[in-house]
Amino acid sequence: MSHALTLLSEDEQMLRETVARFAQDHIKPYVMEMDESAHMRPEIIRAAFKEGLMAVEVPERYKGTEMTFFSAILVIEELAKVDPSVSVLVDVQNTLVENIFMRWGTEELKQRYLTRLATDTVGSYCLSEASSGSDAFALKTRAEDKGDHWVLNGSKLWITNGAEAGIFMVFANVNPEAGYKGITCFVVERDFPGFSVGKKENKLGIRASSTVELVFDNCRVPKENVVGPVGKGYKIAIETLNEGRIGIGAQMIGLAQGALDAAVKYTAERKQFNQPIASFQGVQFQIGQMATDIEAARLLVYNAARLKDAGKPFVKEAAMAKLFSSQVAERVSSKCVELHGGVGFTKEYPAEKYYRDAKIGAIYEGTTNMQLQTIAKMILADHM
């Protein structure tokens, strides 16, 4: 067992085992079907709510399980071993959407929305646009103050959970002349007039996780649905994504572990020259390197999560965790395909899916280059 896993508390170990069983029982039988259909089975989402996986940190008074951020990271990791698509659905719910409400929502907003997010409603985080990816604050979606309500106009792209969500955390600019200082966070419900879900992307990997366009055409939003101060949405977006990157790190180490487990199982069973291929030193060297890379990535992710729970600075560590774990996921899943040989290139085995799913880790919630820039800037800040 991983050294990092042996250091888990008894409660953390129990949680990990519970989620692992959940993934085997409720998700594994449908992984390839969901990937091919690019559709998340509703019963899996319902089961995740029932199991308490959709509101890990949410206080009990809002129907959540009131556990730690680190606990949410363990949940995300275990789910990703079986299906990274389900993992990211749970990740966005916990580390982004509910995080915003818990840190910046009024008590009235928490009562109205956190309880739904904890029990039966998927949430979505809506920042990216056609002109704003890494330059997140170049967003064009506009919010106009109409006195007793707001009106939103514009569109969002690459929005995770958009097909399933009922609650959307939307970033729009109330004062474009003020630049990023006009950005504000709004809660939009799926049935608000003027709001619609547009094109669903046909993706390389994590296909069961929906990625959609959102359209706001004079979308009317109640005045009380502003989260945090008007004009402080940029602060909410930045600080939320800092935590979200640890969640992506957890997804990537789970994916990598799932790929390694599949490679170990196959190489122990596959025989060539009258012996399992795992008995060959060349194969053993590759498995040893894969396991070492995963352990190093896991330690980075766990360290960042522990720092966050302890209330200590963690931005640099989160960037490092996200950067390295996404690199490891790509390397390990690629090697998993190779160790499977010809069948690794087919859909009869899970290797090729892990490989496709891994690529997104270097892109969403901050590209590899953005993580490198963050790390370097924080290191150099004390010397320039």
Catalytic residues: 365
What residues have CB less than 8 Å from 258, skipping those under 6 apart? 80, 81, 82, 350, 354
What residues have CB less than 8 Å from 143, skipping those under 6 apart? 150, 151, 152, 172, 173, 174, 184, 186, 221
Residue corresponding to tokens 């590759």: 286
CA distance 218 to 78: 41
Q: Which amino acid is at 328?
A: V
CA distance 176 to 182: 6
DSSP string, 17-84: HHHHHHIIIIIGGGHHHHHHHT---HHHHHHHHHTTTT-SSS-GGGTS----HHHHHHHHHHHHHH-H
Token pair for residue 94? 């916990």
- Of the CA atoms within 13 Å of residue 42, those in its CB half-sphere come to 5
- Residue 290 near residue 363 (C-beta atoms within 8 A): no
